[in-house]
Chain A
Amino acid sequence: DSGVTQTPKHLITATGQRVTLRCSPRSGDLSVYWYQQSLDQGLQFLIQYYNGEERAKGNILERFSAQQFPDLHSELNLSSLELGDSALYFCASSVMGLPYNEQFFGPGTRLTVL
């Protein structure tokens, strides 16, 4: 158990819908990262937050958005869902978000778009 929690574990929805994935970082960690793992694209970095502010952005679609709240939990919002958005979405956290800080991964949320 990494100490990072993600809810829900599984999510099944239809095309065109909107979903919200939630992540609670390890106690004391200020930085949160979101990654997408799909068969087509492999493991890809989406976005990073540090203490409530966006720090870095990767291959995140415009239909996707994220935020980190004052209590440091983060949410990833996916809208106008397409079949290709089906993937495992990981959240990771680290102490300060610095390159040498280890990232601890949550168990992931499996999203299936039908």
Chain B
Amino acid sequence: AQTVTQSQPEMSVQEAETVTLSCTYDTSESDYYLFWYKQPPSRQMILVIRQEAYKQQNATENRFSVNFQKAAKSFSLKISDSQLGDAAMYFCAYRSPNAGGTSYGKLTFGQGTILTVHP
């Protein structure tokens, strides 16, 4: 079974600075999908960024980018020019590409990292 680990329960950053959230995962699959979700105080789960394992290029979405190290099974999220609205819980998640079986379709989440942004 796949597991996702976020080793930083809490992180903080000054507004306009850059912060990196860490995520490692364990899988025997060679192809898969990785995600970062944001959960603000409203509790709504919002997709921030997605990475397909077969793509070598790191995904970017505006101020958000990832550092995907497949061999190390590492998937960190970098937030540049941090804004007050970035304050939230961030979850790293894994999704298997394989149809069938109990793993099909589900997202496996890490424990989450609470990000605080200081003005």
Question: Of B44, B98, B103, which one neighbours A107 at CB under 8 angstroms?
Answer: B44
Is B52 among interface residues, defined by CB-CB distance under 8 A? yes
Using known A-B contacts A90-B45, A105-B44, determine if residue A100 contacts B104 with beta carbons closer than 8 Å: no
Is B109 among interface residues, defined by CB-CB distance under 8 A? yes
Check if A100 sits within 8 Å of B33, measured CB to CB.
yes
- Pair count A-B, CB < 8 A: 63
Query: Interface segment, A21-29, A52-60, A66-74?
Result: A52-60
Check if A43 sits within 8 Å of B43, measured CB to CB.
no
Is A88 among interface residues, defined by CB-CB distance under 8 A? yes
Check if B106 sits within 8 Å of A42, measured CB to CB.
no
Main SS of chain A's interface residues? strand
Number of contact residues on B: which range applies? 20 to 34
Is A2 among interface residues, defined by CB-CB distance under 8 A? yes
Check if B50 sits within 8 Å of A102, measured CB to CB.
yes
Q: How many residues of A contact B (CB 8 A)?
A: 27
Check if A105 sits within 8 Å of B103, measured CB to CB.
no
Using known A-B contacts A56-B102, A100-B33, determine if residue A45 contacts B97 with beta carbons closer than 8 Å: no
**Cα A99 to Cα B104 with chains together (Å):** 7
Q: Which 10 residue pairs of A and B lie closest in terms of their CB atoms, listed nearest first?
A: A105-B45, A45-B106, A43-B109, A56-B104, A99-B97, A48-B105, A56-B105, A42-B111, A99-B95, A108-B43
